[in-house]
Amino acid sequence: MTRYIARRLLLTIPVLFLVSLIVFALINLIPGDPALLFVGGEAGKEAVEALRKQMGLDRPMAVRYLFWLGRVVRGDLGKSVRDGRPVLDVLLLKLPVTVELAVVALTVAWTIAIPAGVLAAWKRQTAVDYTATTVALAGISIPNFWLGIMLIYLFAVNLRWLPPSGYIEPWIDPARNLKLMIMPATVLGTALAALVMRLLRSSMLEVLGTEFIRTAQAKGLSDRIVIVKHALKNAMIPVATVMGLQLGGLLGGAVITETIFAVPGVGRLAIESILTRDYPMVQGVVLFSATAIVFVNFTVDVLYSALDPRIRLVEEKA
């Protein structure tokens, strides 16, 4: 087991390296001059050129990448082009916000999705099933930006039950922090819940059709034990992969939801940095997101064995 973990951990390094290389190339290939965006046309071509030199943009892309890599290895993610703030500092500021939004959104999503998926599979082709499936479809189809604005107008402007947007640190005002999280988490959660619910439903249906379930039922075990203790655990395996991906994805930020609800997370940071061609910041955000996704997936893989002892990590035996 430990050898497996060690090997997987080592494999993350080339993955991260490759991701950072690809993104570096892409962002540099996008048309748009960071120096021009920073200083503006009024300053004149001479000032723009001077700034390009200062930003190191006159050096070839490969050289710049290697310099960046060298600094990263030493823990220095560079400084934002906009105001010289260290990239790492900004990321650390955004991290708790993004993590909190991800956790609350997924809690909302999975708390709805798992019981719904189980119910829909258990009571398949009844009214319960059809309702759940239709609601799930609606959840996937409704665009985030529309749902977000509708919720704001309903709950914040008209009913005034919730504050419309923003963020306050939970240690400063926990009550308001939670109130501010409800709507964005709901918006994010609906699409995520729908996917998990549908996947779980079909996975459950597959498991419920197997022989060992029939055996359990024949043994006289109650429905509840059959479903929860036996079927669900097995059905969760493919669903766990998706849930892991969802967590990883949310840790990369949810741009649209963050924009509408003015949540200062990693998503908005990413989009702003791209639009202003803040190369060091983009690289930092991408590195962070990629790391998050890689580690979450790694954790899910390791957890597989907890869900299903059959998936004993093959390396061990060989």
* Residues 157-176: x where in contact with another protein by CB under 8 A, - otherwise, as a string: x--x--xxxxx---------
Exposed / middle / buried, residue 60 (Cβ in 10 Å: 0-12, 13-18, 19+): exposed
Q: How far apart are CA 108 and CA 23, in angstroms?
A: 32
Q: Judged by CB under 8 A, which of 73, 83, 172, 211 binds another protein?
A: 83
Q: How far apart are CA 257 and CA 177, in angstroms?
A: 16
| Residue 51: closest CA among 76, 34, 75 | 34
Q: How far apart are CB 281 and another protein at their closest, in Å?
A: 9
Q: Identify the CA nearest to 100 among candidates 237, 261, 241.
A: 261
Neighbours of 307 (CB within 10 A): 17
Burial class (CB in 10 A: 0-12, 13-18, 19+), 159: exposed
Which of helix, strand or coil describes residue 86?
Answer: strand
Binding residue for another protein, selected from 5, 16, 39, 205, defined by CB under 8 A:
39
What is the total count of residues that contact another protein (CB under 8 A)?
A: 48
276 binds another protein per the rule CB under 8 A: yes
Instruction: Report d(CA 119, CA 128) in Å as an integer.
Output: 7
Q: Which stretch binds another protein (CB under 8 A): 6-14, 103-111, 155-163, 294-302?
A: 155-163
**Binding another protein by CB under 8 A: which of 43, 99, 103, 221?**
43
Cα distances from 69 to residues 4, 17, 124, in angstroms, run: 27, 9, 54
For another protein, which residue of 5, 16, 19, 47 counts as binding (CB under 8 A)? 47
Shortest reach from residue 234's CB to another protein, in Å: 43
CB of 39 to another protein, least distance (A): 5
Identity at 261, one-letter amino acid code: F
CB of 50 to another protein, least distance (A): 5
Q: Which of residues 125-154 bind another protein (CB under 8 A)?
A: 145, 148-149, 152-153
Binders of another protein in range 289-308 (CB under 8 A)? none
Q: With respect to another protein, which residue has the nearer C-beta, 2 or 158? A: 158
By CB under 8 A, is residue 41 in contact with another protein? yes
Q: Of 230 and 268, which CB lies nearer to another protein in the complex structure?
A: 268
Which region among 24-32, 105-113, 133-141, 242-250 touches another protein (by CB under 8 A)?
24-32
Distance CA 74, CA 67 (A): 11
**Residue 41 and residue 106: Cα distance in Å, rounded?**
45
39 near 48, Cβ under 8 Å?
yes
User: Which residues lie near another protein (CB under 8 A)?
Assistant: 30-33, 36-45, 47, 50-51, 54, 82-85, 90, 93, 145, 148-149, 152-153, 156-157, 160, 163-167, 259-262, 264, 268-269, 272, 275-277
